[in-house]
Homo-oligomer: A and B are copies of this chain.
Amino acid sequence: MSEKYSYSFSDGDGKNKALLGGKGANLCEMTQIGLNVPSGFVITTQTCLAYLKNQQLPEDLMLEVKQQVTGIEKQSGKLFGDDSNPLLVSVRSGSAISMPGMMDTILNLGLNQKTLAGLIEQTGDARFAYDAYRRFIQLFGKVVLGIADEKFDAPFDEVKRQAGIKADIALDAEQLKHISELFLQVVEDETGKVFPEDVYVQLELAIKAVFGSWSGKRAVDYRREFKITPQMASGTAVNIVTMVFGNMGSDCATGVGFTRNPATGENEMYGEYLVNAQGEDVVAGIRTPKPVAELEQEMPDLYRQLVELRNKLETHYKEVQDYEYTIERGVLYCLQTRNGKMNAAAMVRTSVEMVGESLINKEQALLRIAPDLLEQLLHPQLTPNHNTPAIAKGLPASPGAACGACVFDADSAERLGQSGKKIILLREETKPEDIHGFFAAQGIVTSRGGKTSHAAVVARGMGKACIAGAEMLKIDCQARLATIGDLHICEGDVITIDGTSGEIYLGEISTVAPSFSPQLKTLLAWADDIAEVGVQANVDTPENARVAANYGAVGIGLCRTERMFNASDRLPLVVDMIVADNPKERKEGLDKLLPIQREDFKQLFEAMYPHPVTVRLLDPPMHEFLPSAGQLENEIAALKNYLDIIKGQRVTLETLNNTQQLPPPFSQLNEEAVNNAISQKQLMLKKVNALFEVNPMLGHRGVRLGISYPEIYRMQIHAILEAAALSIKQGLGVKPKIMVPQVITAEELKKINIIVKEVQQQIEDEYQLKLDFDFGTMIETVRACIRGERLAETADFFSFGTNDLTQATFSFSREDAENKFLPLYNQSGVLQDNPFEVLDTKGVGQLMKMTVDLGRKNRPDLQIGICGEQGGHPESIRFCHHIKLNYVSCSAPRIPIARLAAAHAKLLEASYVEYA
C-alpha cells in the first residue's frame, strides 16, 4: 500500500487512474497542465480498500486530510469552517472505471450555522445560502446518515402547502431558512443526534460514506452487470474540491463547451453559458443559455481566457474536448473535460483538419474513428431526435433509413417505382423472382426470415435498407394489407423504416442523406497507405461493381454467378437446362446461357478494370432454381380443380380458392391445354422430387455439380475466359480469377483445372492471344482447411468462405440457428457473438490460421483472402490481418469501413491479443 493516503491536484499522477480514480486523475492532470481548476485533493482507492477491510479509517488519515485542507485554504484564500470567508467543498467518489450515478456525492460540505452566516455575508444572497444549506443537510442526511428522502419531503411539502407555493423556485429566503431548521430537526429525530456542526466531523463522515458506497448494493450490482472485474477497478477514490459558484452575481457565470463543433466538426468556439447561474441551471433548461459567441461581448476578457482554455485543452489532449467551466467573480475555473462525442461526419472532418494543423498525425487521425461509425456516412439516416414512436420492430437486416409508400408485390413496386414514386416493398419473404422489386424500392420489409434471408442478403448487397423477420407485422400480400394488432397499413400508406435499428414508423420521417465527403476520401486514402490487407468487394452486377469501385474496392473478391441466373430473362433457360434429361439437352440450354454470362462477365471486368475480378463457379444446389414441390403440387391441384369446373362439376369453396392461384389467363384455357399444363407441371415435380435434399446446405452443390455436370462448369469457364479475351481485344488487359466452391480434396480442383486448361487452349487459339488469369478455390469446407497444403499445389489463391465454414465448424445451419437457438445462446452467454456476423476466432479462426500455414508451406506467395460476410467486420478484419491474409472482400457498402478497419488492424497489430 502506498504510504500516502492522498494527493493534492498539483501532485497526483494524472495517469494513475487505478490509484486516483478516473475523475481524480483527470483533475490532477488538468491542474498540472496549468488549467485553473478549483483546488482540491484526492484520497486514494488504496485507502478505500484499507477502510473497507478494517471497517475504520487509517489512524492518521484525518491528520493528512487536515494538511491537505490547509493547502486548499492557502490556494483559495478561504478557510474551512470560517465564519466570514468560508471554504466549502464537494466530496465525490471516483473509481478507475466510470460508474455514473452509482456512488455518492456531497456538495457544499462545510456549511454550519457559523459558515452559513459567512456565506450570506460573502454572497449577499441569503436565499442562495439557505437553499445551499437545506440541500446540504438533506444530501448529507441521506448519504452519510442514511435518512430516506421521504423524511425530508414531508416537512418541505408542508412548508410549500402552507405558503401556497407549487414550484421550489418560488420559495424565498425566509421559507428556505425555515426548511433548513425543520431538516436539522429531522436529522435529530432520525439519528438521535444533532446535525454535526464541526466541519471536520462532516468531512470525516462524508469520506467514510463515499468509501462505503463502493460496496453498496447499487455499485455491486452495477459492476456485475457491466462485468467490471477487480482488475479493472478496485475501490473508489474520494475527491475533495473547493466549491466555486457561478451564481454569486453578474460577474459569475457557468457554461459548457466543445473545442470544435460536434455536429459538423468545424474548428470554432462552440458552447453555451448562463450568467449568474449554477451548472445545474444549464442542464435543467429553466433558463435558456446563450451561445458562447455572445460571451465575447458580455465578458470580453473572460471570453479570451476561454479561448485560451480551449486551445490548451486541445494542445494537451490532442482530441476534441467536451468541457465545463464556471466563472466565479471574474475568475474562470475549468471543472471538467473529457473527449467529445461527435457524429461520424464531425469525426472525419476533425481528424483530417487536426492532421492539417499538425495536432495529431495520420495514424492518430485514423485510430480515433471506430470503423463502424462510418456506417452513418454511407446510408441515409433518420433525422436525429425525430421523436416518432416506432410501430413495430424487426431484425436490422440492412442499414439505412428509407421512406415510401407500401407495396406488396414486386410488379407493383416496379410500376410505381418507374412512375417516380418512392416505395417500400413489404413481403412475407422474398424470392429471386422479386428482384426487380428490390431495384424499384427504397427499402424492403419482410415478416419472416433472418439476417441471412434472401431479402437481407440481396438488400445488403444493393445497399438498400431492409428489415427482416418483423414478425409482429402480419403481411397479407393477396389482401395488400399489413396489420399490427388493430392497426391496418394498406397499399399506398407511407411508412419509414430504419434498417440500422430494425424499427418501422408510420408516416414520413425526414432522413439525412449519406455524404462520402472529400475528407472521408482523404482519410481512407491514408488508411490505404497504411493497411496491408486489401479491400475487395462481393458484387454480382456491373452496377454494383461501379459502386464498389467508387467506394475504393481494389477488386471483386466474390462474384456469385448464380445471381445472374435468377434474372427473369435467364431463369427459364436455367430451368430448361436443369430439367434436361441428358447431357445433350442440357448442352442446348447451356449454349443459350453462354453468351448471356459472357456479356455479364465482360461488363464486370470492365467496370472493375484494372482490378481483378474473382468469379465463383455455380454454387447452389440446382433445386434452388426450381419452384418448390409444394408450390407445384398446389398448382397441379388447382389445375385439376379447374378441369372439374370446365367439366361442369360442382365448385366448392376450396376449389375456388385454389383456382385463384392460377396464372391470370387460365379462364381462356380449354381442357386439352389444362391437361398439357398438368403434365408439364408433373414432369417438373418429378424432377424437383428427384433433386430433393434433406440438408441442402450439405448437398449436391458447388464443385460437386461441376464434377457431376462438367458441361455446366465448362460453359461458365468458357464465358469467363472468352469475356476476358474480348476485353483484351479492346485493349483492356483484364485478369479474371476463376474460383471453385465447396472443394474438399485436391482431386476436385485437378478435374476442374483440366477443363480450364482445355477451354483456355480453345480460346487462345480462337482469339490468337494469351490469357492471364488465376485459378483458385474457396476454402469453405473444413476438409479444405485441413488439406490446404495439397490444394495449394493446384490453386493460385484461396478465399475463405467463412459463412459456410462457420456453419460447418459449428454444425449450425445459419437460417435455423438465427431463428431458433442462437439468440438464446447469445443472451445466456454460451456464445458471446453471432459467429455469422463476427468471425469466431477461437474456432473458425484457428482453422483459418492452420490453413494459411499449410497453404503457404510450399507456396509462400499464395494469395489468401476472405469473402464471407465477416470480411466486412472490423474485429474480424483485425484477425485477418493478424493471420496475414492478403485481402478481405465484403459487400460494397461496407468497403469504406473495411478500409479503415484494415488500417486499424495494421496500427494495432502489436497489441493484438490471441484467444485463450
Contacts and interface: CB of A to CB of B under 8 A. Distances in A.
B698 A813 contact: yes
A813 B695 contact: yes
Nearest to A751: B830
Contacts of A662: none
A490 interface: no
Nearest to A743: B811
Interface stretch (A339-347, A584-592, A820-828, A881-889): A820-828
Given A704-B821, A810-B781, A831 B698 contact: no
A272 to B, nearest CB: 49
Interface stretch (A139-147, A461-469, A801-809): A801-809
Given A809-B781, A842-B787, A698 B830 contact: no
A851 interface: no
Interface in A784-816: 786-787, 804, 807-813, 815-816
A696 B693 CA distance: 11
Among A649, A816, A825, which residue has the most Cβ atoms of chain B within 10 A?
A816
A780 interface: yes
Nearest to A783: B843
A698 B811 contact: yes
Given A650-B650, A751-B830, A830-B747, A813 B781 contact: no
A782 interface: yes
Contacts of A844: 783
A748 interface: yes
A56 to B, nearest CB: 40
A795 to B, nearest CB: 16
Chain A interface size band reads 35 or more
Contacts of A276: none
Given A742-B811, A747-B830, A843 B786 contact: yes
Given A745-B831, A782-B782, A699 B847 contact: no
A807 B842 contact: no
A708 B825 CA distance: 9
A132 B474 CA distance: 96
A894 to B, nearest CB: 26
Contacts of A816: 693-696, 698-700
A840 B695 CA distance: 21
Contacts of A708: 820-821, 824
A900 interface: no
A678 to B, nearest CB: 13
A809 B811 contact: no
Given A825-B707, A830-B748, A782 B807 contact: no
Contacts of A742: 811
Interface string A695-734: 1111110001001100000000000000000000000000
Contacts of A828: 707, 751
A389 interface: no
Nearest to A705: B821
Contacts of A825: 704, 707
A761 interface: no
Among A700, A782, A813, A817, which residue has the most Cβ atoms of chain B within 10 A?
A782
A846 interface: yes
Interface string A129-155: 000000000000000000000000000
Contact of A698 (B654, B695, B751): B695
Contacts of A824: 707-708
Nearest to A691: B820
A830 B702 CA distance: 15
Contacts of A787: 842-843
A831 B747 contact: yes
Contacts of A745: 830-831
Among A650, A700, A780, A807, which residue has the most Cβ atoms of chain B within 10 A?
A700
Nearest to A748: B830
B698 A807 contact: yes
Nearest to A828: B707
Contacts of A649: 650, 652
Nearest to A703: B830
19 contacts: A693-B813, A694-B815, A694-B816, A695-B697, A695-B813, A696-B816, A698-B807, A698-B813, A700-B817, A700-B821, A707-B824, A707-B828, A708-B820, A751-B830, A781-B809, A781-B811, A782-B782, A786-B809, A786-B847
Given A695-B698, A697-B811, A786-B843, 17 more contacts: A640-B654, A697-B698, A697-B813, A698-B698, A698-B811, A698-B813, A698-B817, A700-B821, A707-B821, A742-B811, A747-B831, A751-B828, A751-B830, A783-B809, A783-B810, A783-B840, A783-B843
Across chains A and B, which 4 residue pairs bring their CB atoms closest together, nearest first?
Answer: A695-B813, A698-B813, A783-B843, A781-B811
